[in-house]
Amino acid sequence: TRDQRWEMRVHALDDGRRVVHLIDRTGSYAAERMRVDFVANASHELRTPLASLLGYVETLREDAGDDPQTRGRFLKIVFGEAQRMQRLIEDLISLSRIEAEKYRAPDKAVNLAELIGQVAIELSGSPRAADLVTQLADVPPVAGDPTQLSQVLHNIIGNAMKYGREGTPVTIALQPDGESMVRLSVGDEGEGIPAQHLPRLTERFYRVDSGRSRSLGGTGLGLAIVKHIIERHRGRLDITSTVGKGTTVTMLLPVRRVS
Ligand code: ADP
């Protein structure tokens, strides 16, 4: 097919015959292509706020700087763009850290109910804090990295709050799944996600509506970070959604074995 890449090697045998060796390089081409796309996307995402920031600073240095009202308004924009760049850089650093640790299985005993409680406190200042509902069954500790699992909760709950409607519940549920897994889910009653987007949501910088994500402070990296963390935990991630009804993100995490 069009996306297939083959490397051809020709070997001459002693008797004059030739052997043609075809090697399927599709996988490594795809990985290389993804890396190139990622660098291009990241640079573009940083360049846009930087260009805007420089433009406003330039104008401030000229006449606009004299009028206190205009100055205040422009500085607010400059601050917002700088924050956007900072969020993006933090997410990029997170991604590369998680990737660097990919082969070290996390092994701390993590009490997810406690972690959820902690994250709920950290989110208590957000405008939708009152919408958080928790349904926490008794579950054994999972084998994990508490900092990374806290980041997973922040990203998923943050999305549920961002893409949901104020006053509708964001439900965090915890329950056992057989003997060896724990099921953690976050459900919202927001706008939902059209089915064709679901398989691509965990790709870096993939967004259903880029303008909307950016205006809500999104970097497009949240779910990519979640996917990598869950993979490192040997867990599973599943996103289901109905347009107009809402979205549920479910994670299965292995129970910590006591040896
Ligand atoms: P972002 O920073 O843009 O929120 P994410 O990687 O966290 O990036 O999510 C990717 C995209 O998936 C979002 O831009 C949004 O379109 C969609 N999405 C994620 N979570 C939800 C949700 N709970 N409801 C609706 N859409 C969502």
**pLDDT digit string (tens) for 102-129?**
888 898 999 999 999 999 999 999 999 9
Cβ neighbors of 128 (< 8 A, separation 6 or more) are 161, 164, 166, 170
Tokens of residue 60, six digits: 């401030």
- In our burial notation (b when 16+ CB lie closer than 10 A, e otherwise), range 42-74 reads beebeeebeeebeebeeebeeeeeeeeeeeeeb
CB of 225 closer than 6 angstroms to any ligand 1 atom: no
How far does the centroid of ligand 1 lie from the alpha carbon of residue 77, in Å?
A: 24
**pLDDT digit string (tens) for 197-251?**
999 999 999 999 988 888 888 999 999 999 999 999 999 999 999 999 999 999 9
Residue nearest to atom 23 of ligand 1 (CA): 160
**What is the end-to-end Cα distance of the chain in Å, rounded?**
50
Give every strand in the sheet of 246-254, ordered side by side: 132-136, 170-177, 181-187, 246-254, 236-242
- pTM as predicted: 0.88
C-alpha span between 14 and 194 (Å, rounded): 60
Best mutation site among 159, 247, 248 for ligand 1 pocket (most ligand atoms within 8 Å of CB): 159
> Strands 18-24 and 6-12: what pairing?
antiparallel
C-alpha span between 30 and 24 (Å, rounded): 12
Which ipTM score applies to this complex?
0.98
